[in-house]
Amino acid sequence: MAKSLQRQIIEQARELIADPGHWIRGQEKKTIITADGETSAWCAWGAIQEAVDALSPDADAKEAEKLALAAAEPLMAIAAGHADDPMLEDIFEVNDSGDHADVIAMFDLALETV
């Protein structure tokens, strides 16, 4: 069975930030200069947008935003039900106030639902 585009986006976004060195807080994307050249780091939302761009390169801005929001829905549901801390109620709060493990766990839980 083929994977849904929503699942593909979530999986690719998770992969982009799986390495803590490619995950950031407070901004969607950042270019990082290393001895080997340039690389990027993303927040949870920025990784979703990057995955949409990679998987749907022909989508216009409105369609890309729609795809990103649809992919974020299960993550938002997970974040809204964050039992440990009511302050972490959306993916932006989990990304910016939680730690890398919290963000990856949010993606993993979302993948269980799609």
pLDDT digits (tens, 9 = 90+) for 21-56: 999 999 999 998 888 889 999 999 999 999 999 999
Four-residue CA torsion sign, 13, 17, 18, 22 = positive
Q: How would residue 87 be classed by pLDDT, with cut points 50, 70 and 90?
A: very low
Mean pLDDT within 90-97: 89
Q: How would residue 4 be classed by pLDDT, with cut points 50, 70 and 90?
A: very high
CB 22 within 8 A of CB 40: yes
E-only strand ranges, 17-105: 29-34, 37-42
